[in-house]
Structure 1
Amino acid sequence: MEILLWLVPPAVVAAVAMVWVSWLGREGRGEVDREVAVRRMGAAMERGHRATYAAPPREPDRSTGVAVRPSRRAS
């Protein structure tokens, strides 16, 4: 049990850092006015969507999950 005591300081530092970062992140997020948010969403929806790369249609997989050897022709 004593050998695991070396893990306590890094665990405490990591926990304190996570709490500190999460607390700082909360302050940066102010509430946006409802009308401003609606206006932004409307502007985003009015913008035209660009056509992106269309992938070619895939061929269906012929695998049945069972390995089958090709039959031999008798000579």
Structure 2
Amino acid sequence: MEILLWLVPSAIATVVAMLWVGWLGREGRGEVDRDVAVRRLAGALEPDQRRRRPAPGYAAPRPEPDRSTGIAVRPSRRAS
């Protein structure tokens, strides 16, 4: 048990740092005006919003789907 006593100062420093950063982080948050928040939400939920965004482009053409017949067929061997 005595061998673990060297961890006590670092544990205390860690806890104090966590509390200090948590307390300072609270001051940095400003309150957003309610009207601004409602306008942002309305803009995000607007159905036309999806149509205005460009469709994602693809670098390579899409591969053609494999025509499956439901029957497993082995590829033919080339005559040598």
Q: TM-score range by the shorter chain?
A: 0.5 to 0.7
| Structure 1 residue aligned with 2:73 | none
Q: Return the letter of the residue paired with 1:20.
A: W
Cα deviation digits, residues 17-40 of structure 1 (max 9, x gap): 111111111111121111011123
Q: Return the letter of the residue paired with 1:4.
A: L
For residues 5 and 50 of structure 1, the distance between their equivalents in structure 2, rounded to whole angstroms, comes to 60
Cα deviation digits, residues 11-59 of structure 1 (max 9, x gap): 00000111111111111112111101112333445473332356x69x9
Matched positions, count? 57
Q: TM-score, normalised by structure 1?
A: 0.58
| Structure 2 residue aligned with 1:22 | 22
Q: Which runs of 5+ in 2 are unaligned?
A: 66-80
Query: Relative to 1, partners in 2 of residues 1:43 and 1:5: Cα closer, same or farther, differing over 3 Å?
Result: same
Query: Relative to 1, partners in 2 of residues 1:21 and 1:50: Cα closer, same or farther, differing over 3 Å?
Result: farther
Q: TM-score, normalised by structure 2?
A: 0.55
Q: Return the letter of the residue paired with 2:13.
A: V
Partner-residue secondary structure (3-state), 1:31: coil
Tell me which of the two structures has the higher relative contact order, counting C-alpha pairs closer than 8 angstroms and 6 or more residues apart.
Answer: 2
Question: Percent identity between the aligned chains?
Answer: 63
